[in-house]
Homo-oligomer: A and B are copies of this chain.
Amino acid sequence: MALDEHWFTEVFEPSGSAFSLRITAKLHQEQTPYQRIEIYQTTEFGYLMVIDGCTMVSSRDNFLYHEMMSHPVLFTHAKPQQVLIIGGGDCGTLLEVLRHPQVQHCTQVDIDERVTRLSEKYFPELCASNSDPRAELRFDDGVKWLQDANPGSYDIIIVDSTDPVGPAEGLFNEVFFRTCHRALRDGGILVQQSESPLIHVELIKSMHHAMRNAGFSNTHSYDFPQPIYPSGWWSATLAGKGRDLKRFRESESRHKSFTTKYYSYAKHLALIDGVPLLNTALK
Name A's B-contacting residues (CB within 8 A).
1-4, 7, 9, 11, 14-22, 42-45, 60-61, 64, 198, 223, 225-227, 231-233, 259-267, 269-270, 272-273, 275-277, 280
Nearest 6 Cβ contacts at the A-B interface: A232-B232, A266-B273, A270-B270, A16-B22, A16-B44, A225-B233
Report the separation of the CA atoms of residues A260 and B279 in the bound assembly, to the nearest whole angstrom: 11
Identify the interface centre among A14, A20, A232, A233: most chain B CB within 10 Å of its CB: A232
Beta-carbon contact of A60 and B259 below 8 Å = no
Cα A131 to Cα B229 with chains together (Å)? 39
Task: Considering the complex, give the chain B residue whose CB is closest to the CB of A231.
Answer: B227
Decide: B16 and A17 in contact? CB cutoff 8 A.
Answer: no
Among the listed B1, B21, B273, which residue makes an inter-chain contact with A17, where contact means beta carbons less than 8 Å apart?
B21
Show 17 residue pairs from A and B whose CB-CB distance is below 8 angstroms, ordered by the A residue: A1-B9, A1-B11, A2-B3, A2-B4, A2-B9, A3-B11, A16-B22, A17-B227, A18-B18, A19-B19, A60-B198, A198-B227, A223-B225, A264-B273, A266-B273, A269-B269, A270-B270
State the CA gap A267–B269 with chains docked (Å).
8
- Among B11, B22, B276, the residue within 8 A (CB) of A259 is B276
Q: Among B44, B259, B270, point to the contact of A269 (Cβ < 8 A).
A: B270
B contact residues around A61 at 8 Å (CB): 198, 231
Q: Which of B16, B60, B270 contacts A267 (CB 8 A)?
A: B270
